[in-house]
Amino acid sequence: MNFAADLSLAFPELILAAGALVLLVVGAFAPRATAAVSAAAVVALLGAAVAAATQPFGVAFGGGLISDAASAFSKVAIYVASAIAIPLAQPWFERRGVKNFEFPVLILLAALGMGMMASAGDLISLYVGVELHSLALYVMAAMHRDDAKASEAGLKYFVLGALSSGLLLYGASLIYGFAGSTVFGDIAVAVQGGANTGVLFGLVFLICGLAFKVSAAPFHMWTPDVYEGAPTPVVAFFAAAPKLAAMVLFARALTEGFPGATGQWQQVMVAIALISVAVGAFAGLVQKNLKRLWAYSSIANIGYAALGLAAGTQEGVQAMLVFMVLYMIDVTGFFACLAALSRQGRSMESIDDMAGLIKEQPGIALAMTAFSLSALGLPPFSGFWAKFYVFKAALDAGLWVPAVLGLVGSVVAAFYYLRLLKVMWFDASTSATDKPPMEAKGVAVVLALFSFPVVLIALTWLDPLAANAARAFGLA
C-alpha cells in the first residue's frame, strides 16, 4: 500500500491534527476569539466523525494503524462526545472569568490521541495515542489556574499518569523483546500456543498501564481526587470519551495481539473487573461530594465493562461497546446537570446541596433522576440494558461466579444513588438555586432522553453497529 493510501486511512486524524495546529495559531494571534475557535473545533470534530464513518477499511503504516468497523464505531462516538464537551465547558469557564482559546485546541489533541488509540495496530501507535491524549487531559484538569483544587488535580493526574506510562512502556518493551515484534498480528503468531514467561510479564505490565487509563481498581487512586478538583465540565469529558477509547484499545490489544493467551489474560481481567466493582460500590457509600461519588461510580462501571471484555468472545466485546456508549451518555448528562447548578454563585457539588431540587429546578432534577436510575441499572432505563448485555456475555462464557459477584456489587451501589434521589425529592431546600445556563441545561435534558425508555428505540441501531464493530476483532 502506498503512502497516499495510508494517509487516506488516517484522514480523520489528519483533520484533527490540522485543525489543532491552525486553531492554535489563530488563538495565539487573536486570543479573544474564543467563540470562533470553539465553533471551528466543533466543526473539525464533527467533520472527523463523518470521515471516520465513511472512510475505507484497511491497514496503514506497516500495521501501525487499522481502519475497520471497530475503529469507525469508536471514533464516531469519541468525536461526538468531544464535540459536546466544548459548548458545555467554554461558557462555564467564561462565567468564572477564564477565557482560554487553548481548551478547544486541547480537546482536538485529546480526540486525535483517542482516535489513534481506537485504530492502534502495534505497540508504538498504542503508546503514542495514549500519551497524546493523556498530556492534553493533564492540562485540562488544571485549566482553572486560580482554583487550588484544580491545580492540585492536574499535578496529581500528571504524576500518577507518568507512573502508569512507565508501566505501559516497560510492558511494551518486554513484549517486543520476547515476541520479536511490536505489531499485534506478529505478536499473535509468536504467542499462538500461549504466552511465555517474558511475554506474560510484559502483558501484565501493559494491562496495568491501560487499567490506570480507564481508572480500574486497584489503579484508580487518581480518580476521586482528580474528579473532585477538576472543573465540572472537564470531568464530564474525562469520564466519557477517554474511557471508551481506552477500553477499545484494551480490546484490540488483547484480542488481536494475544488471542493464543486468552486463558492467561482472562484471569487478570476478571480480577480487575471484580476489584473495580467492589471498590466502586463500597467506597462510594461514604462519599458526600457528588463528583467523588461519581468517580467511584465510574470505577464500578469500568469493572462491568471489563467483565464483558473478560469473556473473551465477540459477544463480550459487543456488550462492552454497548455498555460504554450508554454509560458515556449517562455520565456526560449527570455532570452537565452539575455544571448547570449553583446557589448564590457557588457550585452545588455535595449531596446536601441537592435538597429540594425537584421544587427549585424540576427539569434538571428529573434529568439527574434518570441518570442516577440508569447508572443504578434499574429497568427500563438504559443502564439496565447495558448491564444486561455484559452479564449475559459473562454467563455465556461460563463466568458465573464473576457475574453473580458483579450483580451483588450493583445492588450495594444502589444505596448511594437512592440516597441522592431521596435528598432531591423529599428533603427541604435550604435556599433558592441560581438560574441554570441554557447550554448546560440543554445538554442535560437532551441526554436524559436517552436514559429514559426511549433508549429502546436507540438500541435498534446501536446494537447492530456494536455487533458489526465486535466482529472486526475476529473473535468467535
Name the DSSP class of 347. E
Q: For residue 158, which of 144, 145, 175, 139 has the smallest C-alpha distance?
A: 139
Q: What is the pLDDT of residues 100-125, one digit of tens each?
A: 788 899 999 999 999 999 999 899 99
Cβ-Cβ contacts under 8 Å for 88 (sequence gap 6 or more): 233, 236, 336, 339, 439, 440, 443
Q: What is the DSSP letter of 260?
A: G
| Cα–Cα dist 24/31, whole Å | 10
Give the span between the Cα atoms of 48 and 14, in whole angstroms.
Answer: 9
Q: For 229-282, write each residue's pLDDT tens digit.
A: 888 889 999 989 999 999 999 999 998 888 888 888 888 999 999 999 999 999
**In this predicted structure, what is the pLDDT of residue 446?**
80
Give me the pLDDT at residue 245, please.
Answer: 94
Residue entry with cell 447492530: 464
For 417, the grid coordinates are 444513588
Q: What are phi and psi of 347, to 5 degrees?
A: -60, 140
Residue with cell 502508569: 164
Average pLDDT, the chain: 88
| Residue 323 to residue 384: CA distance in whole angstroms | 10
How confident is the model at residue 49, as a pLDDT?
95
For the segment 385-402, what is each residue's pLDDT rounded down to a tens digit?
Answer: 889 999 999 999 988 999
- Residue 454: per-residue pLDDT: 59
Segments in 60-215 forming alpha helices (H): 69-95, 102-119, 123-141, 148-179, 184-190, 197-213
| Angle formed by the axes of helices 438-449 and 314-340, nearest 10° | 150
Residue type (1 letter), 288 = K
Contacts of 358 (CB under 8 A, 6+ apart): 365, 366, 424, 425
Average pLDDT of the residues in 24-48: 89
Does residue 56 contact residue 67 with C-beta atoms inside 8 Å? yes
3-state DSSP assignment of residue 429: coil
Confidence label for 475 from pLDDT (cuts 50, 70 and 90): low
| pLDDT tens digits, one per residue of 168-216 | 999 999 999 998 889 998 998 888 877 788 888 999 999 999 999 888 9
CA pair distance 145, 460, nearest whole angstrom:
44
Residue 394 · residue 328 · CB < 8 Å = no
Q: What is the pLDDT of residue 46?
A: 95
Written as one string, the DSSP assignment of 9-78 is HTHHHHHHHHHHHHHHHHHHH-TT-HHHHHHHHHHHHHHHHHHHHHSPPEEEGGGTEEESHHHHHHHHHH
**Separation of alpha carbons 338 and 315, rounded Å:** 35
CA atoms within 13 A on the CB side of 228: 17
The DSSP output letter for 175 is H
368 grid coordinates: 439527574
Per-residue pLDDT, averaged over 310-316, amounts to 90
Angle formed at CA 220 by CA 66 and CA 277, multiple of 5 degrees: 90
Query: 476 falls in which pLDDT band (50, 70, 90)?
Result: low
pLDDT band at 324 (very low <50, low <70, confident <90, very high): very high
Angle at alpha carbon of residue 67, lines to 61 and 82, rounded to 5°: 110
d(CA 173, CA 347): 45
Q: What percent of the chain has pLDDT over 90?
A: 45
Interval 45-66: pLDDT, tens: 999 999 999 988 989 888 889 9
**Cα dihedral sign for 191, 196, 200, 206?**
negative
For the entire predicted model, the pTM comes to: 0.93
Residue 263 vs residues 167, 215, 277: alpha-carbon distances, Å: 22, 23, 21
Mean pLDDT of 403-423: 91
Cell of 112: 486525535
pLDDT digits (tens, 9 = 90+) for 150-160: 888 888 888 88
Residue 390 grid cell? 455484559
| C-alpha cell of residue 414 | 444502589
Write out the three cell numbers for 396: 455465556
What is the C-alpha to C-alpha distance for residues 409 and 406, in angstroms, rounded to an integer? 5
Query: Strand (E) positions, 336-438?
Result: 342-343, 346-347
Q: What local confidence, expressed as pLDDT, does residue 94 receive? A: 81
For residues 88 and 143, what is the distance between their CA atoms, to the nearest angstrom?
15
Kindly tell me if the per-residue pLDDT of 456 is higher than 70. Answer: no
**At 342, phi and psi to the nearest 5?**
-160, 155
